[in-house]
A and B are shown apart, each in its own frame.
Chain A
Amino acid sequence: MHPAPSIILFTTLSGLGFGLLAFLGLGMPGSTGWVAFAFFAIAYALAGGGLVASTFHLGHPERALKAFTQWRSSWLSREAWTSTATLTVMGLYAIGRVFFDADWQVLGWLGAALAVVTVACTAMIYASLRAVPRWYNWLTPVHFLTLSAAGGALLAGQVTIATPLLALAAAVQMAIWMHGDGALARSGTTLASATGLQGGTVRAFEPPHTGTNYLLREMVHVVGRKHATRLRAIALILGYGLPILLLLLPFNHWLGLLAVLTHVLGILASRWLFFAQAEHVVGLYYGKR
């Protein structure tokens, strides 16, 4: 799949933002006043900013409101609902925390639950696509959820929780890579099944056109996989290893900030691979994967 920078940035940042919102809703940290304002501002910039950015890659952003109509069948529509619900509920909760020094707990818990559901909906958009065998797996939502939890705990400054959550997210990350590498082969979809041709080895002889097309640009992206192994190492070290190491050192706000920054960089590399390494079965028709 084509690793569009806008989608990589949006899914990474909004995942972090909703993770942070979940921890804030649970009262971790339970700060009030200006400190709470700073936490909520960061969470809204990440979660809300990501959502707004995601409308820019639409062909017709002026019709974006129509995306709320098909929640019965579409995970994308469900994500639209849960994300706006989370931002609304958590906005009310934030008013209590920032201006009234009050902890309206029920709102906080509801907002936290909605944040978790939002991340799950985002992940299900990918996990429900059978045409992309690497994503069509229950590990995809687990990966998104553990990542959001770890990143959220890190941003919320919950050092004792963040360390094991980062380790867990790293384990899921490695599992999804290892499992994903054989996903296309295990799916049973081959050029032979795609064309129904039997009685010999099928080879793509001639493409339907001399130039490129939308399908190849959008779904058959081979260039991005060139440095896959190195990018995996970078993602593991920056996204999980270094943050854990920095958290194990005696706590210091600058080290915490550094941990957040390396985590974000590592996750951007991981998210690039999430798209660039995902093979869409349509590539088989073109003799590519």
Chain B
Amino acid sequence: MTTLPQSTDRKLGLVIDLDTCVGCHACVISCKGWNTENYGAPLSDTDAYGANPSGTFLNRVHSYEVQPPEGTAQLVHFPKSCLHCENAPCVTVCPTGASYKRVEDGIVLVNESDCIGCGLCAWACPYGARELDAVEQVMKKCTLCVDRIYNENLPEEDREPACVRTCPAGARHFGDLGDPESDVSQLVAARGGVDLMAEQGTQPVNKYLPPRPRDRLDDVDVLAPYLEPVTTGPQGFLGWLDRALDALPGGKE
């Protein structure tokens, strides 16, 4: 049923640390690998080696530049996948009941054998978390690796989403965000984790930890004032050239 549950027993989700993400895209590759080889329709690529390659991905890493009013710009790598929203707009629009949010752990899933491929859920999602597979013609989205996290055939350390397991920088964390005592909830509280597009009213479960302020490099050395450059302008031939060019019409601002 595509009506949303009033509440879920647990709120499994991811916490993504934008401070430590190095933008290596390993999570993108491991996600594609696991979800192509395991549960559900494979994630197809079309024209993969041609001029116009395109493919289905459940997780993508964007890069943004933040330019403060003063000082240097900062580059932030930004992995984005389904946020398993509590008030998931993609679920309620589904006409067939293929989309649903699980009561036991809050994971938003698609029953692919019920999906008619109308694409309305992808329209309803503000985050672009759902992609219609070009070959299978069914809606694909992050399953939070539901076939890993409860899989007793895997060693215990592998029972977490593929993206979390593979991250070399420790920038991705998995756990129950409904339990205030859990490691992920503590991390969100300590680092001031935020919701994406809170104004859209989706109440996302996944949280993002903002980049921490960079160290300031001024006033590092007490000797710095003595190291100021002695000359302020070019000397000798270069100085003459500089002055001569400035003297030409349109030379000096």
Contact = CB atoms under 8 A, between A and B. Distances in A.
Contact of A194 (B54, B69, B96, B197): B197
Interface stretch (A85-93, A99-107, A205-213): A205-213
Contacts of A72: 1-3
Contacts of B2: 70, 72-74
Interface residues of A, number: 60
B123 A129 contact: yes
A189 B80 CA distance: 17
Interface stretch (B127-135, B151-159, B161-169, B178-186): B127-135
B94 A189 contact: no
B175 interface: no
Interface stretch (A24-32, A57-65, A221-229): A57-65
Contacts of B55: 211, 213
A208 B94 CA distance: 28
A199 B66 CA distance: 7
Given A74-B94, A195-B196, A131 B116 contact: no
Interface string B110-141: 00001111111011111110011010111000
Interface string B21-46: 00001001000000000000000000
B172 to A, nearest CB: 16
A131 B78 CA distance: 20
B243 interface: no
Contacts of A195: 64, 76, 78, 196, 208
A179 interface: no
A69 B96 contact: yes
A204 B62 contact: yes
Given A130-B200, A195-B78, A67 B69 contact: no
A218 interface: yes
B85 to A, nearest CB: 12
Contacts of A131: 89, 123-126, 200
A196 B115 CA distance: 32
B76 A197 contact: yes
7 contacts: A59-B118, A61-B116, A70-B95, A73-B1, A199-B213, A218-B123, A281-B126
Contacts, number: 199
A206 B60 contact: no
Interface in B59-85: 60-69, 73-76, 78, 80
B93 interface: yes
A285 B3 contact: no
Contact of A59 (B97, B116, B128, B198): B116
Contacts of B128: 215, 219, 282, 285
Contact of A60 (B69, B89, B116, B123): B116
Contact of B124 (A1, A57, A129, A196): A129
Nearest to A211: B53
B174 interface: no
B5 interface: no
Give 7 closest A-B pairs by Cβ, nearest first.
A59-B117, A59-B137, A208-B60, A282-B128, A200-B68, A77-B95, A66-B96
Contact of A80 (B54, B95, B196): B95
B62 A285 contact: yes
A282 B126 contact: yes
B95 A74 contact: yes
B92 interface: yes
Interface of A: 1, 57-61, 63-64, 66-70, 72-77, 80, 125, 128-132, 187-189, 191, 193-215, 218-219, 280-282, 285-286
Contacts of A197: 18, 64, 66, 76, 210-211
B118 A76 contact: yes
Nearest to B199: A188
Given A76-B120, A205-B63, A208-B28, A70 B96 contact: yes
Given A196-B195, A280-B123, A211 B52 contact: yes
A1 B56 CA distance: 19
B199 A189 contact: yes
A125 to B, nearest CB: 7
B52 A70 contact: no
B19 to A, nearest CB: 11
A200 B53 CA distance: 34
Contacts of B200: 130-131, 189, 281
Given A67-B116, A69-B96, A196-B208, 19 more contacts: A59-B118, A60-B117, A66-B96, A73-B93, A131-B200, A189-B200, A195-B196, A197-B18, A197-B210, A199-B68, A200-B67, A200-B69, A201-B66, A203-B64, A209-B57, A211-B53, A280-B126, A281-B197, A285-B127
B223 to A, nearest CB: 31
Given A60-B138, A202-B65, A67 B96 contact: yes
A129 B121 CA distance: 10
Contacts of B239: none
Nearest to A212: B54
A39 to B, nearest CB: 31
